[in-house]
Amino acid sequence: MLSAKSLFQEILDHDESFRLFCSIAASGEAQGGWENGRIAALLPERCRELAPKAARHGADEDKHGRIFHALMKKRGLRPADVPDDTDYTMLLERRGIGLGHAKLRREDPLTERDVVVYLAHSRVTEQRASEQMELLRKHFGDHPDLGRAVRMISADEENHLAYCHEELLRLARAGHGPTIHRALRECALAEIRVYRDVSLAVMAHMGRILGWPRPKAAALTAAIHAVYAYERLAGWRRMVSLAPPRRRDPLGGPASTAPEFA
């Protein structure tokens, strides 16, 4: 019987599939670290109080990338090339979601609208990241090799999501509510399509590595399309709601380190 746990266990047990999984994850985290670092440097004067939080967000993402590299190194594996069709961040940018890398490479200060776009994009993508890591923590939080890494990254993703809620609510109170609503909806609808496409691509690559029979591959493909259908109908709404986080100032203070991994 197919389940999230059995599927990931199969990927974990095979060196080449584990190598690809960690390489994809590490690449995405590294991109997120760079983006948040640049955003922290380019924030406009009226939003400079966000700079330490954006920098902390970026430092966390960099740390996650190092953790995934360390997990590969522990098994004597080198990073794999990341296929373009599995590059979640790049595919979102191609759809015009978030702040483009060309803008972030320049030295021009961002606008307040750019800050709204950044936070809306982060709120949606951190929802996905938090849910994925919570699933891994549920099934592998006690795993002897992965458990500590999964728990650490999951806790960070929860803080990132809470930070986005807190800052978007603050900007909504400052009069940016309609812009926030439009940006969240646009980003959520694009993200669920990109997530479907990336999921299909990752499963296709894993299937070739692991030699999945055609019925199994077809069942996984159908499941991915079913998730997309649900999200297109109603599930995307969970990505656009805003609520005060239980913990105030979740990204206050310096980023935690991970000496046991990197």
57 falls within a domain:
yes
State yes or no: pLDDT of 253 exceeds 90.
no
Residue 3's pLDDT band (boundaries 50, 70, 90)?
confident
Could you tell me the CATH number of the domain that includes residue 168?
A: 1.20.1260.10
What number is the average pLDDT over the span 145-163? 95
Q: Which pair of structure tokens corresponds to residue 154?
A: 């999951």
Q: What is the pLDDT of residue 262?
A: 43
Q: Specify the number of domains making up the chain.
A: 1
What number is the average pLDDT over the span 247-260? 68
Q: How far apart are CA 231 and CA 203, in angstroms?
A: 19
Q: What is the pLDDT of residue 71?
A: 96
Q: How far apart are CA 102 and CA 33, in angstroms?
A: 16
State yes or no: pLDDT of 141 exceeds 50.
yes
Point out the least confidently predicted range of 52-56, 126-130, 170-174, 243-247: 243-247
19 falls within a domain:
yes
251 falls within a domain:
no
List the domain range (segments joined by +) for residue 95: 4-239
CB 19 within 8 A of CB 72: yes
257 falls within a domain:
no
Place of tokens 């320049």: 106
Place of tokens 């992965």: 146
Residue 251's pLDDT band (boundaries 50, 70, 90)?
confident
**How many CA atoms lie less than 13 Å away from 105 in the CB half-sphere?**
4
Other beta carbons within 10 angstroms of residue 73's beta carbon come to: 14
Average pLDDT across the chain, whole number: 93
Instruction: Compute CA distances 43 → 36, 39, 60, 93, 112, whole Å.
Output: 10, 6, 19, 20, 8
What number is the average pLDDT over the span 136-148? 91
94 falls within a domain:
yes
253 falls within a domain:
no
Q: What is the pLDDT of residue 256?
A: 60
**Backbone CA torsion sign across 238, 239, 244, 246:** positive
181 falls within a domain:
yes
Nearest alpha-carbon partner for 80 in 136, 145, 8, 15:
15
What number is the average pLDDT over the span 33-40? 97
State yes or no: pLDDT of 260 exceeds 60.
no
Q: What is the pLDDT of residue 195?
A: 98
Q: What is the pLDDT of residue 1?
A: 57
The pTM for the full model equals: 0.93
223 falls within a domain:
yes
Q: Per residue in 208-225, pLDDT tens?
A: 999 999 999 999 999 999
